[in-house]
Structure 1
Amino acid sequence: MSTTGSDEDLPAVLTLMPSRLDLPRGRAALPGSEVAASQQGRILQAVTEEVAARGYGATSVRHVIARARVSRSAFYASFTDKQDAFARAHLQASRQLLGLIRDRVADASGAPWRERLRAGIQAYLDGFENAPAYAVSFMVELRGAGSLLLDQRDQVLQRHARNLAWLAEQAAAEDPAAHRPPDLELIGAIGAADELATRAIRVTATGARPDLGSLLAPIADIHEAVLIHRR
C-alpha cells in the first residue's frame, strides 16, 4: 500500500458481505429477514468476485450462486438476473467508497484544503488497492456490462463531483486563488482520476493488488488545476 503513516491508518478492506456471516442452526436460527440479508450480501460479494475473475461476459448466475453458496431460488428471490445483481453490487460498493473518502476528508478537517483534497484522493486509491475484485469489476469490467451500468456509473461520478464541489467551496472560502468551478469541470476531474486508475488496474495481474500510489500526485494536480482560478 502506497500511503503515508502506519498500518493502523489504512482503511478496512471494502466488503459487501453482511457483518454476521455464520448463520446459527436450530433454536438459535436467525429470522427469515436476516437470512435473506445474509444471502443477498453473499450474492453481491460473489458476483463482484466472479466478474473480476472471469470477466462480465463469461460470468453466469450458476457461477455466482456456487460461490455465494445459495440456491438458484434464493438468487431469483432478490435479483432478476446477473446484470441486476452486478448493478446492485456496484451501487453498494460505490456507497462504501464514497463513505471511505468522506471519512478520510473529515479526519483531515482543519488542515489546508490541498491536504484535505489529497486525503480524499488517497482514500479513493486505497479503497481499490485494498479490494482488487472491486477494482477490476467496477473500474474495468463494468464498462462492458451494458447501458444500465454505464448510466449508474455516470450517477456515481456525479456524486463524487458533488463532494468535490463541497470541498471547492471550502477552498474558495479560505484561499483567494481557489474557486468553485462549473459542474462539468468537476465531473471531468473525477473522470480523469477514474481513467488513470482504470489504466493501472487493467494491467495488474488477475487477483493481484493494484499499486496506485504513483497516481496520487497527477490526480491531485488535475484537481487543483480545476479548483484554481485561471490567470
Structure 2
Amino acid sequence: MSVPHADSLFFRTLEPPEGWEEAGREAVAASQRARMLDAVVRAVGDRGYANATVADIVGLAGVSRRTFYEHFDDKQDCFLAAYRTGVAVVIERVVATTAATPEDDWRERLRVGLAAYTAVLADHATFARTLLIDVLGAGREAVELRQRLYEQFVALFHTLSERAAAIDPAIAPVPDVFLRAVVGGIGELVQQHILSEGAESLEELTPTLVKVAETVIEFGGRRA
C-alpha cells in the first residue's frame, strides 16, 4: 500500500494505531485521504489556489479521480479539509507544549507556545504558506475558517493574560480587542517573513513575536 510522505503534516495525524502497512481497508482510505490532503497543499503552494486543479491533486497523490470524489466534493472541499486538519495539528502542538510548562511562569508559557508555533510551521513550510497566505484566495468559507483559527489563538492568549493577572497584581487582564490585535499582528509578521525569507527560517522570528505579545500582556491592561 502506498503511504503518505513520512514528513507530511497529515501522515502522523491520520496514521492508524497499528501503522499503515499492518492495517486493513480503513487504513487504505486513511492513506488516500492523507495523500490527497498533502497533495492539495503542495498543488496550491506550487500553482496558487486559483490555478491548482483536481488533476494536479490526484496526480501528486497517486490516486484516481474516482477516489478523489469518494472523499471530497471538489477542490475547495479538499483544501478546507487540509486546512482544518493542519490547523488542528498546530493548535495541538502549541497547547501540549504550554501545558508542560509551570503555570506560575506566564512568560515562559508564552515563549514556549510561540516557539512551538513557529517550529511546526518551519517544519511544514508549504502548509505554513497555505495557513497564512493561500487561504486568502480560496473563497469566503476559507477566509471564515481562517478567522475561526484566529479566535482560537485569541482564546489561548486570553487564558494566558488571565493567568498573568492572577500572578502579578500590577497586571490586569487584557481586553480581547487588544488580544485580537496581537494575533493579527503576529499573523502579519509571520506572513511577511514567509514571503521575504521563507517559512523554513520562521523560528528566527520567535523572539520578536514573544516581545510583541509580552508587551501587550504586561501593559495592555495594566492597572493604574
Q: TM-score, normalised by structure 1?
A: 0.84
Q: Residues 127 and 171 of structure 1: is their aligned pair in 2 closer, same or farther, counting only changes over 3 Å?
A: same
Which of 65, 71, 74 is equivalent to 1:81? 74
Query: Can you list the C-alpha shifts for 1:40-84, whole angstroms capped at 9, x where unaligned?
Result: 111111101111122212210000011111111111111111111
Go from structure 1 to structure 2 and tell me whether the alpha carbon gap of 1:23 and 1:222 turns closer, same or farther (over 3 Å shift): closer
Report the Cα distance in structure 1 between the residues aligned to 2:81 and 2:104, rounded to whole angstroms. Answer: 35
Distance in 2 (alpha carbons) for counterparts of 1:34 and 1:19: 8
Q: Which residue of 1 aligns with 2:10?
A: 16
Residue 185 (structure 2) pairs with residue 192 (structure 1): yes
Cα drift, residue 102 of structure 1: 0.8
d(CA) in 1 for partners of 2:103, 2:175: 25
Structure number with greater CO (CA < 8 Å, separation at least 6) is 1
Q: How far apart, CA to CA, are the structure 2 residues paired with 1:117 and 1:71? A: 45
2:90 to 79, 97, 112: 97
Tell me the C-alpha RMSD between the 2 structures. Answer: 2.2
Q: SS state of the match for residue 57, structure 1?
A: coil
Pick which of 153-162 and 195-204 moved more.
195-204
Q: What secondary structure does 2:171 align onto?
A: coil
Superposed, which structure 2 residues align to 1:1-231 within 5 Å?
Answer: 15-17=9-11, 18-19=14-15, 30-31=24-25, 33-110=26-103, 112-204=105-197, 209-228=199-218, 229-230=221-222
Q: Which moved more, 1:80-89 or 1:106-115?
A: 106-115
TM-score where L is the length of structure 2: 0.86
Identity %: 30
For 2:127 and 2:211, how far apart are their aligned partners in 1?
25
Q: How many Å apart are 1:172 and its aligned residue?
A: 1.1
Separation in 2, partners of 1:184, 1:125: 23
